[in-house]
Amino acid sequence: MEKIMQFPLFKTKIKGLDRKFDLNNPKERAEYFDYKASEEIRLLREYFNSGNTFIAYLLGKKNSGKGTYSKMFAEAVDPSKIDHFSIGDMIRTLDEELQDEKKKAELMDYLKKNYRGWTQVEDLMASLEKRSTKTLLPTELILILAKREIARREKKTLFIDGFPRDLDQINLALFLRDLIGYRDDPDLFVLIDVPEKIIDERIKYRRICPKCQTSRSIKLLPTSKIDYDVKSKEFSLLCDNPLCQGNPKMVEKEGDEQGIAPIKDRLEKDQKMMEMAYSLYGVPKVLLRNSVPQKNASEYVDDYELTPEYYYEWDEKDQKTIVKERPWVINDGVEDPYFSLMPPPVVVSLIKQTVKALGLQNQ
């Protein structure tokens, strides 16, 4: 990160706690969160059980883990009270609506009744149908579509992923809670610092659950269930999200094999948006750092909290997959050698900083 933003090291290591946790195992992960942040989780649950909610705007470079961290925050605290709302997923769902004449007519009717802007509704519908990943939809259209989608949901705490998505939308984010009817909700920015080398590796080895959209990595963050195809001799991840039934096979997204090469311009824009949000007054900021210098690691984190590199072997005799790991030391030539952190310690930081941002520790 550039010097305009300072992301301090966050200490999750607890002196005298010698137990190790398998952070890829949902049961042990729950126990880990209880050990590392039990008091803060209790305060958040009391906050939610009293009918309170908040809005968090997730800002980080593309593929910095926004969805992973927010969904794991919900997993640790209370999935029934927290929603991860992805603007990108909302737009992609629109593609399905536009293929259904009835749903398309309903969308057209909604826009005619609620849209305010400088473009005719018919032209908006045309732009939706002809849109590409390189074309940004008008901001006023994104806002009304977000309002429509959120109105369909039960009122919960929202982690909004994908808005603001451009520099001119930073100020609009300050009013979004009013626009969607969350007038009394506190809001905060969650800024995520992830080195580009880590993002590159995440993209190349990412796998997505086709049902619940949970993101994992076959190299850096496997699930607890691994499948092996004897014919192709390929290993695959199976989703182990407790809320996702059937353990579906996780799949690679098209283009991921290129890493960050196609999105360099996007990463620069994301950097500028974070800097702009960081400089705003009056909105609490949660600063999440995904990496720790190798020289500081033993002081701040436990060994099992560091991201290992996973690889797999098939045991022909016992007909089972053997998962192996080795240290993943990253040396990108820009910074001193460093480690990436597993998502759970970053989420511990998110939990504790959120409690502080909401002022719950003083109540």
| Cβ atoms of residues 274 and 189 within 8 Å | no
In this structure, are strands 234-238 and 225-229 parallel, antiparallel, or unpaired? antiparallel
Task: List the CATH number of the domain containing 153.
Answer: 3.40.50.300
Residue linked to tokens 């049902």:
211
In a domain, 3, yes or no: no
Residue 360, both tokens: 């719950």
What pLDDT is attached to residue 107?
92
| DSSP code, position 260 | T
> Which residue's structure tokens are 């018919």?
122
CB atoms within 10 A of CB 226: 18
Residue 192 forms part of a structural domain:
yes
Whether residue 345 is preceded by a cis peptide bond, meaning omega within 30 degrees of 0, is no
At residue 135, the pLDDT reads 65
Q: What is the pLDDT of residues 116-143, one digit of tens each?
A: 888 888 888 888 888 766 666 788 888 8
Confidence band of 282 (pLDDT split at 50, 70, 90): confident
Output the pLDDT for position 2: 43
Interval 190-249: pLDDT, tens: 999 999 998 898 889 999 999 988 888 899 889 989 999 999 999 999 999 888 889 999
> Is 11 a domain residue?
no
**10 in a structural domain:** no
* The pLDDT of residue 363: 57
Total Cβ atoms within 10 A of residue 314: 16
pLDDT of residue 26: 93
C-alpha–C-alpha distance, residues 81 and 155, integer Å: 8
Report how far residue 109's alpha carbon sits from residue 132's, in angstroms, rounded to the nearest whole number: 24
Q: In percent, how much of the chain has pLDDT > 70?
A: 96
Residue 129 to residues 122, 254, 304: CA-CA distances in angstroms? 11, 21, 47
What's the whole-number mean pLDDT along residues 165-194? 80
Residue 179 has pLDDT above 80, yes or no: no
Helix (H, G, I), strand (E, B) or coil at 221: strand
What pLDDT does residue 3 have?
A: 47
Whether 254 maps to a domain, the answer reads yes
Measured at the alpha carbon of residue 327, what is the angle toward residues 237 and 36, in degrees to the nearest 5?
A: 80
CB 43 within 8 A of CB 360: yes
Residue 73: inside a domain, yes or no?
yes
Judge whether 356 lies within some domain. yes
State pLDDT tens for residues 101-115: 999 999 999 999 988
Torsion sign, CA atoms 27, 32, 38, 42? negative
Helix, strand or coil for residue 285?
strand
Structure-token pair, residue 50 = 């009293």
Beta strands in the chain (DSSP E): 55-60, 82-86, 157-161, 187-193, 206-208, 215-217, 225-229, 234-238, 285-289, 291-293, 308-315, 320-327, 338-340
Q: pLDDT tens digits, residue range 24-64?
A: 899 999 999 999 999 999 999 999 999 999 999 999 998 88
The mean pLDDT value of the chain amounts to: 89
CA distances from 117 to 106, 176, 356 (A): 19, 16, 38
- Residue 247 resides in a domain: yes
Look at the chain and report how many structural domains it folds into.
Answer: 1
43, 221, 234, 325, 342 from 311: Cα distances, Å: 39, 11, 12, 6, 16
Range of the domain at 278: 26-362
